[in-house]
Structures are given as structure tokens and as C-alpha cells.
A and B are shown apart, each in its own frame.
Chain A
Amino acid sequence: MNDRQIREEFCIPSDLGEARRVQDEIEEALQSNRFGERDIFSIRLALEEVLVNAIKHGNQMDPGKCVRGEYTVTDERFDVRIEDEGPGFDPNDLPDPTDPDNVERSCGRGVFLIKHYMTSVEYHGKGNVVTMSKLRNGASEE
């Protein structure tokens, strides 16, 4: 089987419409590498959460700041790196949204979903850089 690799970089202003455009572009790349609907659902959901976090919480919607990223899609996996210009955060400080005491709070639910849907997620440095991966066909599941 040919290992078709798609690798792209992007640099977008803090604009949610631009984030949507990047997601559409990535979805096309996943479809062309025959990722299934379920994997695409997972990646799309995680990308939405990561990009909204970067633009809203990281860059505070500042149009002068941008979100940089790069992604690779192969027949086997999807990898992405996203960096904002914000102060970062400690993902370990977020409350567990499934704790009954927190379930009515919105805080932390997005990152929780990202961790669930992706094969691996890592925050780097001060927390303004995230890398995440998804193996195709739910290969991460036992």
C-alpha cells in the first residue's frame, strides 16, 4: 500500500472562521487518506476544542496574534501541533468535568474530550503548545 503523506503548515489570525477553514482542510486530507467516519468525528471534535482554546483562551481573540500549526496525515495516523501566543496553562489544574461537583461547570470539558478522543495529547512548555495524534481505525483501542 502506498504511504501517502500529506504535510501542511498553517498560520491563522485569531479568527474562528479561519479555524473552521483549517478544520475543513484537515478533514479533506483525512478523507483522501481513507480515514473512517468515526476517526474523522474524533479528530474534528478535538481540533475544534484545541483551536477554540488557542484563539479564545490563549490569544484572547486578539486579531494581532496568530495560531501556528502543522499537521501530517498518512495512511496510518494523524499528527498535529498547534501553538498560540498566549500565556499558556497547566492542563493538570483543570477540574475533572465528570466529578459530580463539577459537572455543571463548563471548565475542563473541552480538554477532557480531546484526551478521550485522541490517541495521545501532550502540552508543552508553558502550555501554549499542544501536540496530538490519532491512529487510524481506532488502532489505539485495546
Chain B
Amino acid sequence: MTSQPRKQRIVVEDIGDIAVVNFVDKKILDEQNIQMIGDDLFRLVDELGRRKILLNFSNVQYMSSAALGKLIRLHQRLQSVGGKLVLCGISKDLYDVFAITKLDKMLSIVKDEPTGLNSF
């Protein structure tokens, strides 16, 4: 049987007890990608027991409302287990998407990774 290894969508680096996540894709639009990214992120919480997650969006250019929905659910999941989600490295255009939808009020968004690491 030929196995088709699933393309890695996120890169996770552990810095202390914080899981720092970088995204491989510049465009987080495709439903399948969003589902896979969501599965990987939820696995960090549910299977690997991570409670502090820092998402670094430096590489991300576009994101759809479906991806925003996934972030909200990840935020809720972490809150329910006493964890915390922080977002950083968001471009001006992308930040506008969060601001327009008022998610900047709900989610913890900081400028860059060093600031994010100090915000837990």
C-alpha cells in the first residue's frame, strides 16, 4: 500500500511550557487545510496536554472566516481547561480582519513572538 504522508501544515516548537506554532501556508483558506490545521492544534491540547499556545502568524497573508471560527473554538477549548491562547506576528491587513469582526477584543493578540512568550 502506498502511504501518502500528510503535508505538515504547522510547525510546533516548544519553548519552556509554551507551544509556539508557525503556519506553513501563506493562505489559510482551503477548508481541508483549515480542518487539518484545526485537528493538529486541538491535538496539542487534547492529546499532548499543552495549555499555553502561541500562534505566530508572521508567514500568513490571508485567512478566511472558517479559520477564524477554528481559532475561536481553540480559544474556548483552552479556556475550558485553564489554558491560554495568544496570537502574534499578525500583518496589518490580517489584523484588520480580527478588528472588523471584533475578535481582537476576544482573543489575546500581541505584536511579536518575544512579547507573546512573556504574556502567559
Contact = CB atoms under 8 A, between A and B. Distances in A.
Given A16-B30, A98-B102, A103-B106, A49 B72 contact: no
A109 B65 CA distance: 6
Interface string A96-114: 0110100110100110110
Interface string A79-90: 000000000000
A141 B23 CA distance: 32
Interface in A69-86: none
Interface string B60-73: 01101110110010
Interface residues of B, number: 21
A109 B62 contact: no
A65 interface: no
B47 interface: no
A100 B30 CA distance: 27
Contacts, number: 57
Given A16-B30, A41-B93, A106 B100 contact: no
Nearest to B105: A103
B66 A52 contact: yes
A44 interface: yes
Contacts of A4: none
Interface residues of A, number: 22
Interface in B10-36: 29-32
B41 to A, nearest CB: 16
B101 interface: yes
Contacts of B103: 103
A19 B69 CA distance: 20
Interface of B: 29-32, 61-62, 64-66, 68-69, 72, 76, 93, 97, 100-103, 105-106
5 contacts: A20-B29, A44-B62, A45-B64, A106-B66, A110-B64
